[in-house]
Structure 1
Amino acid sequence: MNIKILSRNSKLYSTKRLVEAAEKRKHNVQIIDPLKCDLIIEKRSPNVYYKGDYIQETDAIIPRIGASVTFYGTAVVRQFEMMGAFSTIDSEALVRSRDKLRSLQVLTRAKIGLPKTVFTNYSRDVEGVIQHVGGTPLVIKLLEGTQGLGVVLAETRNAAKSVIEAFNGLQARVIVQEFIKEAKGADIRVFVVDGHVVGAMKRQGKEGEFRSNLHQGGSAEVIELSDEEEIAAIKAAKAMRLGVAGVDLLQSSRGPLILEVNSSPGLEGIEKATGKDIARKIIQYIEKNV
């Protein structure tokens, strides 16, 4: 089988592991930088022109599209889909997952537990926004933030008002969420492939840090999910129509609460924490569908 991995950096852990897993199962693999692709759009034979050649005979693609290149990266994924290639991440699902507000609305419609969240059009009623999420402490997130960047914990009402008003003044879109105190600065990353949980880890923020992202210095350990947590993660990935997803959830007194569903989850943290070959599961998912 001919598999293309859409990645801008062949040296990234996730990219290298996917190449290893595919070659181990006797597939032909090529890494393609999506930003260097020219898209030939025509009725009879849509194609992709890359480094002086037309790309031929692509059975499947694995998109590893960074948030900063979502627009063009998704266009490349869509082009391969038009050419008949199977994609581990559907182009429309990729777009949907990158819109944090839309994602939350999709998850709400699927009756999935979420932290109380408020989004406004730069409302001047900051006091009302704070009240809607149950008061302080609360979390303020930039809609375009990734890997824990653009996330602020406001512990007092004055701090919350100052941060929200500052973002409003800059016309930066933010969502305001309730702070789940009982989570104690930890969240759970659940890796879902083809509707099945293939690995889960608990990420704990470093001392004095409420963000648990590994990019922010957090630590990770393997965790056994409860039935409720496993069902919530699978349901969230299904609602977002993602065949491969990293579902982030919090443990709360009212059950698991979904924070985010990631369409390009990294493999390094989950594989090292669980000792599982997640890359192999992704290649097997392709084999099942091609």
Structure 2
Amino acid sequence: MNIKILSRNSGLYSTARLVEAAKKRKHNVEVIDPLKCDLIIEKKKPSVYYKGRYLSETDAIVPRIGASITYYGTAVVRQFEMMGCFTTTESQALVRSRDKLRSLQILSRARLGLPKTVFTNYSRDVAEIIDHVGGAPLIIKLLEGTQGLGVVLAETKNAAESVIEAFNGLQARVIVQEFIKEAGGADIRAFIIDGQVVGAMKRQGKEGEFRSNLHRGGTAEVIQLTDDEENAAIKAAKAMGLGVAGVDMLQSARGPLILEVNSSPGLEGIEKATGKDIAKSVIRYIERGV
């Protein structure tokens, strides 16, 4: 098969591992920078032009689209879909996953456990917002934040009011969520491929840090999910329409709570924590799909 990996950097761990796994299974694989693709739209013959040639002989794509290029990256994925290519992440699912508010609404509709969340249109009733999520401490998240950036823990009501008012003043859209104390600064990342959990890890934030992101110095170890956690992760990926997903959950007194469903989950943390060849599982998913 001819597989194209849509990534801006062929040296990234996830991209390099996917290339390696595809070559091991005797596929032709190439890394394509989505921002350098020209999309040619015409009746019955949509095409992608890249560095002086048409990418017409493409069987499947693996989108590794960063949040900063979601708009154009999604357009490229959509173009390949119009050409009849299989994709590990569909364009509409990619768009849904990048909208934090829409994602939470979809997960809520699927009756999945979530931290209590409030979103308002720059409301002046800050005290009411805080009360809606059970008071301080609470979490304030920028809607456009990724990898733990734009996430603030407000430990007191005064601090929460100050931060929310500051974001409102900057016209930065935020969601306010309850703080799950019993999670202890840790979360779970379940890696889903084609409706199955292929690996799971528990990420623990470094001392004094409530964010567990590995990019922020957190550590990871393999974990065996409970039935409830596994079912929640699979159901969340399905609700978002994602064939490949990283589902982030908190362990709480009322069961697993979904934080986020990531449409371009990194492979480095999960492969090193679990010792599993996740990249190979992605390529095998493509083989079944094509």
Query: TM-score interval w.r.t. the shorter chain?
Result: over 0.9
Please give the alpha-carbon distance, in whole angstroms, between the structure 1 residues aligned to 2:44 and 2:88.
25
Counterpart residue number, 1:49: 49
The one-letter code of the counterpart of 1:121 is N
Distance 2:93 2:267 in 1: 20
Q: Percent identity?
A: 82
Counterpart of 1:29 in structure 2 is 29
SS of the aligned residue for 1:69 comes to helix
In structure 2, distance between residues paired with 1:111 and 1:57: 42
Task: For 1:142, give the aligned amino acid.
Answer: L
Map of 1:259 onto structure 2: 259
Find the aligned partners of 1:161 and 1:289 in 2 and give their Cα distance.
49
3-state DSSP class of the match of 1:159? helix
Alpha-carbon distance in 2 for matches of 1:39, 1:288 = 27
Separation of aligned partners in 2, 1:139 and 1:45: 48
TM-superposition CA deviations, 1:187-206 (whole Å, max 9, x none): 00000000000000000000
The 4+ residue runs of structure 1 with deviation greater than 3 A are: none
| CA–CA separation in structure 1 for the residues paired with 2:271 and 2:169 | 42
- Please name the residue that 2:38 is paired with: 38
The CA distance in 1 between the partners of 2:48 and 2:57, in whole Å, is 11
1:26-84 deviation line (CA, Å, top 9, x unaligned) = 10001000000000000121100100111121100000000000000000000000000
1:281 match: secondary structure? helix
Q: Amino acid of the residue matched to residue 221 of structure 1?
A: E
Corresponding residue for residue 101 of structure 1: 101
Give the aligned residue type for 1:20.
Answer: E
Distance in structure 1 (CA, Å) of the matches to 2:58 and 2:67: 24
User: Within 1, Cα distance between the matches of 2:231 and 2:122?
Assistant: 36
Deviations 1:218-276 (A, max 9, x none): 00000010000000000000000000000000000000000000000000000000000
Q: Show structure 2 runs of 5+ residues with no match.
A: none
> TM-score, normalization: structure 2?
1.00
Instruction: Show the counterpart of 2:147.
Output: 147
Q: Deviations over 1:132-188 (max 9, x none)?
A: 000000000000000000000000000000000000000000000000000000000
Q: Counterparts of 2:195 and 2:95 in 1: how far apart (Å)?
A: 20
Matched letter for residue 92 of structure 1: Q
Aligned position for 1:212: 212
Name the CA distance, whole Å, in 1 between partners of 2:192 and 2:48.
Answer: 30
Partner-residue secondary structure (3-state), 2:111 = coil
Instruction: Read off the aligned partner of 2:173 and give its amino acid letter.
Output: R
| Structure 2 Cα separation of the partners of residues 242 and 152 of structure 1 | 28
Aligned to 2:273: 273
